Structure 1
Amino acid sequence: MIRLDNISKQNGERLLYVEASAALNRGERIGLVGPNGAGKTTLFRMVTGEEPPDEGAVAVDRGVSIGYFNQDVGEMAGRSAVAEVMDGAGPVSEVAAEMRELEAAMADLDRADDMDAIIERYGEVQGRFEELDGYALDARAREVLAGLSFTQEMMDGDVGNLSGGWKMRVALARILLMNPDVMLLDEPSNHLDLESLIWLEGFLRNFEGALLMTSHDREFMNRIVNKIIEIDGGALTSYSGDYEFYEQQRGLKEKQQQAQFERQQAMLAKEIKFIERFKARASHAAQVQSRVKKLDKIERVEPPLRRQTVRFEFPPAPRSGEEVASLKGVDKAYGARRIYDKLDFVVRRKERWCVLGVNGAGKSTLLKLVAGASEPDAGQAAIGSAVKMGYFAQHAMDVLDGERTVFETLEDAFPHAGQGSLRTLAGCFGFSGGDVEKKCRVLSGGEKARLAMARMLYDPPNFLVLDEPTNHLDLATKEMLIEALADYEGAMLIVSHDRRFLAALSNRVLEVTPEGVHQYGGGYTEYVAATGQEAPGLHAG
């Protein structure tokens, strides 16, 4: 359906693609992977025709419709979320627009003379609308929005009043409703809660067209894709299978290449030693010459491209008292909505709680109450003795000083730390080379989140309160964080939609439901096994 033939592409000084080729065939669900800045978004833009390759060609079969979701959703205002979604549904939305115009024309007395023609055209357009199942469109749009956790009120309200994250969901819903032949999804899992993510997983598994997507959520990718295309060093390499299979295959390939490289290096060293030893002797001249020629002809094996993985080691956190945080008889309401009623909850040393609950159940509110960012209406919220808390919330990024660079921000926080260790810290969180000189005001949302996280973890607290800490992290940074936090001695309270993160790090689950709050001994994996659901109210697929 789509072919990339020997494409080359340069972005400024950076070579993204060098004579790279790949194909997307009917029914394939492909995960596009590669380090940050490798050119994943550029590839999408080349497929949609927004950007041409410098060399080579991108061929799309005739009549193939493409739906492209990216992080840049543009302006939305003045219409309901449902209308906005229906507007993106391809041909049917154009037919609906013409129907509306014709309905207005039929009610316009000044156009009485044209009425026969208008009515005739209306009959044709209405027939086409029925053919395209247009009357079911509103219901289908609502079904998709409900899957992405919209309430009826949000569906019918002005889309302009929604936050950026919810507008992203509207943009995603448009593509899903459009049901194109090919879907290009750039990070569709980024701004979703766990319930929406699981719903989207099911939707994409049943999608009959071809799919090309990126995602920083490896669990999500594993369950959907049946092929991986890796961008590495300017080349595109295809692997048949899910993300897990790709990781194994790539590891195997690297090992084989390394062994081949080492064998060749040993052989070359031996030949060079012989040449050096005998080049001055006339008796060995012929042998030396033939070996020199042989070396010139040998095709050199390159060592495997080393992925830059940086490990971050926590300095040990100071020990806290046994009771780290407690809520006693806590009530909390927003207007008429009661979120908590006489809630009792205790976090003890070394406990790592993950908080689950449907959208709007009060997960972030619970974290705010514990962190002291919000006061209970009644009852008590207290922190235990010798507790040093680190609170990462969505607004953690807003406290960065726009005029300071990344490095200055870390230096301000840790004036006694050595330059080397701060550079290592920056590198762990994806700021390498010149990135540390960037001013905070030019950082993307993801970069700000990573900087706020780095600043919080360098001098580690013994109680981490993390609200969606993985939202803007790529796969490599996420893995680094999981590894680092696995050895962390302090207590944790986490809200996250990343199931791998929850499964790897939690040892307790707090489930917040409309019927009340339930506590489970055992982490997220045990919770799924015990309840048969991956999130409250949803059965494991």
Structure 2
Amino acid sequence: MIRLENISKQNSHRILFIEASAALLRGEKIGLVGPNGAGKTTLFRMITGEEAPDEGQVSVDRGITIGYFDQDVGDMAGHSALAEVMNGAGPVSEVAAELHDLEHAMADPDRADEMDAIIHRYGEVQHRFEELDGYALEGRAREVLAGLSFTQEMMDGDVGALSGGWKMRVALARILLMRPDAMLLDEPSNHLDLESLIWLEAFLQGYDGALLMTSHDRAFMNRIVTKIVEIDGGQLTTYSGDYEFYEAQRAQSEKQQQAQFERQQAMLAKEIKFIERFKARASHAAQVQSRVKKLDKIERVEPPRRRQTVSFDFPPAPRSGEDVVGLKAVHKRYGARVIYEDLDFSIRRRERWCVMGVNGAGKSTLLKLVTGTTEPDQGIVTLGGSVRLGYFAQHAMEVLEGDRTVFQSLEDTFPQAGQGSLRALAGAFGFSGDDVEKKCRVLSGGEKARLVMARMLYDPPNFLVLDEPTNHLDIATKEMLIGALANYEGTMLFVSHDRHFLAALSNRVLELTPEGVHAYGGGYTEYVARTGHEAPGLRE
């Protein structure tokens, strides 16, 4: 279907691809992986024809339809979310638009003399619309939007009033409704709550076209893809299997290559030692000459390319008292909507609570009540003795000073810290080389989130409250964060849609449902085993 043959590509002074090849065949589901800046988005843009390779060829079979979802959704306003999705549904939406125009023409008295031709054309177009299952289009569009957590009110409301994250869901729904022959999805799991993520997983598992996607969610990737294409050092390498298999294969290949490299280095050292020792002796001239020729002919084994992974040892948090926070008879409402009524909830030292619930259940509200960002309408919220609170929320990124660089921002927060320590901290959160000199105002949302997280964890509080901390973090940074928090001896309360993060770090689950609040001992894995579902909104 889609082939990349010996492609080379350079952006500015950065070489992205060197004679790289790969293919996407009919029905294949492939995960595209590689470090930030490796060229994943450029690869998508070359397939869609938005960019051309400098050398080599990108070929797409004739007649193949491609749907491409990326993070740049553009302006959406003046239509309902439903209309926006239906308008992008490919050929069927074009036929629907013509059908709509013909219906208007038939009702126009000024076009009475054209009526026979209009009616004839209407019959043809209507037949084509039926062939394309057009009359089911609105129902299918509503089904896709509902799967992505849209209410009926949001579907019918102006898409221009939605936040950026919800607009991205509209753009994603448009591609899903289109059901093209090939889907290119660049980070479709961003901005989705857990229920939407699981629905999308099932949708893509049932999709019979070809799929090429990137995702920072390893659980999501594992359940969908059957192949991995890795971009590394300008090359495209294909691995058969899911993300877990790829990781294991990559580690094994690196180990084997390292062993080959070391064996060859030992052999070369031995030969060179012989040559150096006997090169001045006439009696060994023939042997020396023979060995020199042999060395010239040997194909050198390269050491494996090392992925830049930086770990960081975060200092231990000071100990808090046993009672960390308590909510007693708390009531909270927004307008007519009751969020909490007579809520009692307490957190003890070293408990790690993950909060589960559908959109609007009150997850972020609970975190705001606990951190004092929002006051309860009734009841009391009490922090325990010696509790030092750290709160990560999306608005936390607004405290960054735009004209300070990443490194200056860290220095401002920790004036006593050494430069080496702060550079290691920056590196652990994905700021290496010149990245530390970037001004905060030009950072992407993900980069700002990483910087705020770095500032919070360098001198960690003993009670961490985290609202979607893994949004925009790549897999490597997530793994570093999970490793750091696994060794964290403080207390945690957090919301996340990343199941790997939930399973690795929680030891308690608070489930918010319309029927009430339920607490579960044991972490997310035990919660799934006990309830039979991965999120509260998925009850049968």
TM-score, structure 2 length as denominator? 0.99
Structure 1 residues 290 and 539: CA distance shift in structure 2, 3 A: farther
Residues of 2 paired with 1:327 and 1:107: CA distance?
A: 64
Q: Which residue of 1 aligns with 2:36?
A: 36
Q: How big is the shift at 1:347? A: 1.0
- The answer as to 2:181 corresponding to 1:164 is no
Q: How big is the shift at 1:172? A: 0.3
1:164-204 CA-partner distances (Å, limit 9, x unpaired): 00000000000000000000000000110000000000000
Letter in 2 for 1:490: G
Q: Which residue of 1 aligns with 2:442?
A: 442
Tell me if structure 2 keeps the 8 A contact 1:27–1:208.
Answer: yes
Residues of 1 paired with 2:207 and 2:443: CA distance?
A: 36
Q: Which residue of 1 aligns with 2:406?
A: 406
Q: Which residue of 2 aligns with 1:454?
A: 454
Question: What are the residue-to-residue correspondences of 1:321-332 with 2, within 5 Å?
Answer: 321-332=321-332
- The answer as to 2:461 corresponding to 1:466 is no
Q: Which residue of 2 aligns with 1:214?
A: 214
Q: How big is the shift at 1:539? A: 5.6
Letter in 1 for 2:467: D
Letter in 2 for 1:183: M
Residues of 1 paired with 2:103 and 2:402: CA distance?
A: 52
Q: How big is the shift at 1:71? A: 0.5
Letter in 2 for 1:434: D
SS at 2:526 equivalent: helix
What value does the CA root-mean-square deviation take over the aligned residues?
Answer: 0.9
- The answer as to 2:176 corresponding to 1:176 is yes
Residues of 2 paired with 1:160 and 1:443: CA distance?
A: 25
Q: Which residue of 1 aligns with 2:482?
A: 482
Q: Percent identity?
A: 82
Tell me if structure 2 keeps the 8 A contact 1:397–1:448.
Answer: yes
Q: Which residue of 1 aligns with 2:227?
A: 227
Q: How big is the shift at 1:117? A: 1.3
1:142-161 CA-partner distances (Å, limit 9, x unpaired): 00000000000000000000
Q: Which residue of 1 aligns with 2:287?
A: 287
Q: How big is the shift at 1:112? A: 1.8
Tell me if structure 2 keeps the 8 A contact 1:28–1:211.
Answer: yes
Q: Which residue of 1 aligns with 2:361?
A: 361
1:335-365 CA-partner distances (Å, limit 9, x unpaired): 1110100111111100000000011111011
Number of equivalenced pairs: 540
Residues of 2 paired with 1:389 and 1:15: CA distance?
A: 45
Residues of 2 paired with 1:312 and 1:221: CA distance?
A: 27
SS at 1:533 equivalent: coil
Q: How big is the shift at 1:127? A: 1.2
Residues of 2 paired with 1:488 and 1:452: CA distance?
A: 18
SS at 2:110 equivalent: helix
Greater Cα offset, 379-388 or 424-433: 379-388
Residues of 2 paired with 1:224 and 1:149: CA distance?
A: 20
Residues of 1 paired with 2:348 and 2:325: CA distance?
A: 7
Residues of 2 paired with 1:358 and 1:32: CA distance?
A: 30
Residues of 2 paired with 1:444 and 1:107: CA distance?
A: 51
Letter in 1 for 2:297: K
Structure 1 residues 252 and 539: CA distance shift in structure 2, 3 A: farther
Greater Cα offset, 282-291 or 141-150: 282-291
Q: How big is the shift at 1:288? A: 1.1
Residues of 2 paired with 1:83 and 1:471: CA distance?
A: 29
Q: How big is the shift at 1:56? A: 0.3
Residues of 2 paired with 1:227 and 1:38: CA distance?
A: 19
Residues of 2 paired with 1:39 and 1:114: CA distance?
A: 54
Residues of 2 paired with 1:304 and 1:84: CA distance?
A: 48
TM-score, structure 1 length as denominator? 0.99
Q: How big is the shift at 1:286? A: 1.4
Q: How big is the shift at 1:107? A: 2.0
Structure 1 gap segments, 5+ residues each: none
Q: Which residue of 1 aligns with 2:375?
A: 375
Q: Which residue of 2 aligns with 1:86?
A: 86
Residues of 1 paired with 2:468 and 2:427: CA distance?
A: 21
Question: What are the residue-to-residue correspondences of 1:46-65 with 2, within 5 Å?
Answer: 46-65=46-65
Q: How big is the shift at 1:537? A: 3.4
- The answer as to 2:521 corresponding to 1:512 is no
1:387-439 CA-partner distances (Å, limit 9, x unpaired): 11110001111111111100111011011111110110000000001100000
Q: How big is the shift at 1:109? A: 2.1
Q: Which residue of 2 aligns with 1:310?
A: 310
Letter in 2 for 1:520: Y
SS at 2:534 equivalent: strand
Question: What are the residue-to-residue correspondences of 1:127-206 with 2, within 5 Å?
Answer: 127-206=127-206
Question: What are the residue-to-residue correspondences of 1:525-540 with 2, within 5 Å?
Answer: 525-538=525-538
Residues of 2 paired with 1:390 and 1:499: CA distance?
A: 23
Greater Cα offset, 309-318 or 213-222: 309-318
Q: How big is the shift at 1:115? A: 1.7
SS at 1:534 equivalent: coil
Residues of 1 paired with 2:253 and 2:275: CA distance?
A: 33
Residues of 2 paired with 1:13 and 1:519: CA distance?
A: 54
Residues of 2 paired with 1:443 and 1:290: CA distance?
A: 59
- The answer as to 2:479 corresponding to 1:493 is no
Tell me if structure 2 keeps the 8 A contact 1:30–1:229.
Answer: yes
Residues of 1 paired with 2:360 and 2:300: CA distance?
A: 59
- The answer as to 2:251 corresponding to 1:256 is no
SS at 1:177 equivalent: helix
Structure 2 gap segments, 5+ residues each: none
Q: How big is the shift at 1:116? A: 1.6
Tell me if structure 2 keeps the 8 A contact 1:312–1:481.
Answer: no
Q: Which residue of 1 aligns with 2:23?
A: 23
Q: Which residue of 1 aligns with 2:236?
A: 236
Q: Which residue of 2 aligns with 1:9?
A: 9
Q: How big is the shift at 1:101? A: 1.3
Residues of 2 paired with 1:312 and 1:174: CA distance?
A: 41
